[in-house]
Amino acid sequence: MPILVVGMVLFGVPQASSIPEEFKYRLFFLIVLSTLLIPMVTILGLRLSGLVKSLHMAELKDRTIPFLIICLYYILITYFLYQKTELDPVLWLSMAIITSAVIFLTLVTFFWKMSAHMVGAGGFLGVVICLALKFTSYQMVYPLLAAILLSGIIASSRLYLNAHRPAEVYAGFCTGLLICLGGFFWIWS
How far CA 80 is from CA of 84, 152, 168, 189, in Å, comes to 7, 34, 32, 24
Span of 14-23, 52-61, 110-119 with lowest mean pLDDT: 52-61
In a domain, 133, yes or no: yes
In a domain, 178, yes or no: yes
In a domain, 69, yes or no: yes
Entry pTM: 0.92
71, 7 Cβ separation under 8 angstroms: no
In a domain, 70, yes or no: yes
Q: How many domains, in total, are found in the chain?
A: 1
Q: What is the pLDDT of residue 55?
A: 80
